[in-house]
């Protein structure tokens, strides 16, 4: 199993925390739209940047209940870089963070079978705050509720992908949107049968 944390360097980098982001997609009049918001200026990590809902995995996420489980092909991709408990915990974290940050819910406990796996991105070793983030995708018809949330994300709304890119979000978000556009261009069969998925490590994409 490839472990980018073992990619050697002369110093000891901050350990990257496991995290998950959930890209909620809907079909807009001019193409796909994603739910995004601005991280507040007081955040240590990516303040004032446009992001998808998400956050670090909490200790209880690995054992929290779910109303339905991840599909086999989604779990298979997550297991490349996580043990079974963490792989499931990443999905639970994505559902939990969605509800906390946006007010939208996948149910209590959450329904996980609608999730797809997009890619993984690890914050560069030189950063003082690091995350090993997995990006999951779900269609808006799987969620319910009204946009509200905790206030952690400001200006929550639906963005066309091209509009989000034009606002020049952080490089990692630009890269993930690019991978999302590639994924959307694939047939459903091709998405389900992918043998490998993209990993962004030290600002370079590779497959894992």
Predicted local distance difference test score (pLDDT) of residue 11: 61
What is the CATH number assigned to the segment(s) 14-207?
3.90.79.10
Q: What is the three-class DSSP state of 207?
A: strand
Residue 123: name the closest of 59, 195, 175 by CA. Answer: 175
Domain ranges of the chain: 14-207
Classify residue 202 as left (phi > 0), alpha (psi -120 to 50) or beta. left
Q: Is the peptide bond before 109 cis (omega within 30 degrees of 0)?
A: yes
Sequential pLDDT tens for the chain (208 residues): 434 444 444 567 799 999 999 999 999 999 999 999 997 655 555 557 899 999 999 999 999 999 999 999 999 999 999 999 999 999 999 999 999 999 999 999 999 999 999 999 999 998 888 999 999 999 999 999 999 877 788 889 999 999 999 999 999 999 999 999 999 999 999 999 999 999 999 999 999 9
Predicted local distance difference test score (pLDDT) of residue 1: 41
What's this model's pTM, rounded to 2 decimal places?
0.90
Chain-centroid distance, C-alpha 139: 13
Phi, psi (deg, nearest 5) at residue 96: -65, -45
Predicted local distance difference test score (pLDDT) of residue 75: 98
| Cα separation, 98 vs 119, whole angstroms | 18
Residue 81: name the closest of 30, 117, 35 by CA. Answer: 117
Give Cα separations from 138 to 51, 118, 121 (angstroms). Answer: 16, 10, 18
């Amino acid at each position: 199993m490839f472990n980018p944390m073992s990619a050697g360097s002369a110093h000891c980098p901050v350990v990257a925390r496991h995290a998950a982001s959930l890209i909620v997609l809907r079909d807009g009049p001019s193409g796909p739209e994603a739910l995004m918001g601005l991280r507040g200026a007081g955040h240590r990590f990516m303040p004032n940047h446009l992001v998808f809902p998400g956050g670090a995995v909490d200790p209880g996420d690995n054992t929290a209940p779910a109303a339905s489980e991840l599909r086999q092909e989604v779990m298979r991709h997550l297991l490349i870089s996580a043990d079974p408990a963490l792989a499931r915990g990443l999905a639970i974290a994505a559902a939990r963070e969605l509800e906390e940050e946006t007010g939208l819910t996948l149910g209590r406990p959450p329904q996980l079978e609608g999730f797809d796996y997009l890619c993984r991105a690890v914050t560069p070793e030189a950063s003082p705050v690091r995350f090993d983030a997995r990006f999951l995708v779900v269609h808006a018809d799987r969620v319910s509720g009204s946009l509200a949330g905790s206030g952690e994300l400001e200006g929550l709304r639906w963005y066309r992908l091209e509009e989000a890119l034009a606002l020049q979000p952080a490089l990692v978000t630009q890269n993930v949107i690019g991978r999302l556009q590639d994924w959307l261009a694939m047939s459903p069969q091709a998405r389900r049968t992918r043998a490998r998925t993209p990993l962004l490590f030290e600002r370079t994409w590779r497959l894992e």
